[in-house]
A = this chain, B = another copy of it.
């Protein structure tokens, strides 16, 4: 199977699993459920589920087992986008080419949508049908929580918030992104590996790989934000500069940011070396992250 076909297969099964995990819009409270579905379904590249499935494949994990952690991570990601877009945060009106959740519904609903999506992530991953040993499942739940909380994603958000208009060093910028984007990308990779027969040293190596692509993802995002158009991105372009947010591009300049992205890409490929052919999809995803235009 070539990469585009594999990617589309995983995206479709992720969409189906998300659809099945979301409460029906016919159940009360109907408006909340409708808004949750609006925020989650029918959009997004599903990079985190793709990483989860690709990492699981190295260790022979079953796709059906991988669906639960894949969508749990995606639900955390979706909740963070809904809350990020709120007026008291980034105050954005466009996401994945559609009006943001609080614009389409209202602020209070969007707040509850984010809250309920986070819960849904833990509900999905604590289902007894997930199909891994219970002790392993507990570890996975703890890993997801740690990646999402105040020392992970939410903490990265807080640093980002505090950084607006502040001159940051490259080190401080990295500290923020390792949490804000990196923690959940790392969780996606490690959760996938946990679904198969993985040994501690392989987890450590994958963790290193994940840290590289987490940063890579962000550097590329900054380059795209600076260079692409709103129509291509499906979200407001040039926002970081307009909000005076520190980015790799405005700290390093575009040329240096691109060199950094090339270096991270090479590091990521190198970290996968010992896994040989089994890591094919992770190699391909690494290239996809760099070469994407949206």
Contact A83 B150 (CB under 8 A): no
Distance of A23 Cα from B145 Cα, bound (Å): 14
Segment from A52-60, A105-113, A229-237 that makes contact with B: A105-113
Question: A116-B155, A135-B134 in contact; A150/B32 too (CB < 8 A)?
Answer: yes
The contact of A158 among B32, B123, B162, by CB within 8 Å, is B32
Within 8 A of B (CB), among A146-178: 146, 148-151, 154-155, 157-159, 161-162, 175
Determine if A114 is an interface residue (Cβ-Cβ < 8 Å): yes
Segment from A11-19, A61-69, A136-144, A280-288 that makes contact with B: A136-144
Digitize A163-196: 1 where CB-to-B-CB distance is under 8 Å, 0 elsewhere: 0000000000001000000000000000000000
Q: Which residues of chain B come closer than 8 Å to A79, judged between CB atoms?
A: 115
The contact of A123 among B31, B142, B175, by CB within 8 Å, is B142
Question: A134-B137, A151-B23 in contact; A115/B116 too (CB < 8 A)?
Answer: no
Q: Which residues of chain B come closer than 8 Å to A209, judged between CB atoms?
A: none
Closest chain B residue to A152 by CB distance?
B119
Distance of A83 Cα from B28 Cα, bound (Å): 21
Question: A138-B137, A139-B128 in contact; A28/B145 too (CB < 8 A)?
Answer: no
The contact of A111 among B83, B137, B144, B175, by CB within 8 Å, is B83
Distance of A242 Cα from B33 Cα, bound (Å): 29
How far is the CB of A98 from the nearest CB of chain B, in Å?
A: 20
Contact B138 A123 (CB under 8 A): no
Determine if A199 is an interface residue (Cβ-Cβ < 8 Å): no
Contact B158 A145 (CB under 8 A): no
Determine if A278 is an interface residue (Cβ-Cβ < 8 Å): no
Q: Which residue, of A27, A158, A161, has the highest number of chain B Cβ atoms within 10 A?
A: A158
Q: Which residues of chain B come closer than 8 Å to A106, judged between CB atoms?
A: 88
Question: A137-B134, A141-B122 in contact; A88/B108 too (CB < 8 A)?
Answer: yes
28 contacts between A and B (CB under 8 A): A28-B155, A29-B150, A32-B150, A32-B154, A32-B158, A36-B150, A79-B115, A80-B115, A83-B111, A86-B111, A88-B108, A88-B111, A89-B111, A109-B158, A112-B157, A114-B115, A115-B154, A116-B149, A119-B150, A123-B142, A126-B145, A128-B135, A128-B139, A133-B134, A134-B135, A134-B138, A138-B141, A141-B141
| With A32-B155, A89-B108, A108-B161 already in contact, 17 other A-B pairs whose C-beta atoms are closer than 8 Å | A23-B150, A29-B155, A29-B158, A31-B158, A36-B150, A88-B106, A88-B111, A112-B158, A112-B161, A114-B115, A116-B155, A118-B118, A126-B141, A128-B138, A128-B142, A138-B141, A141-B141
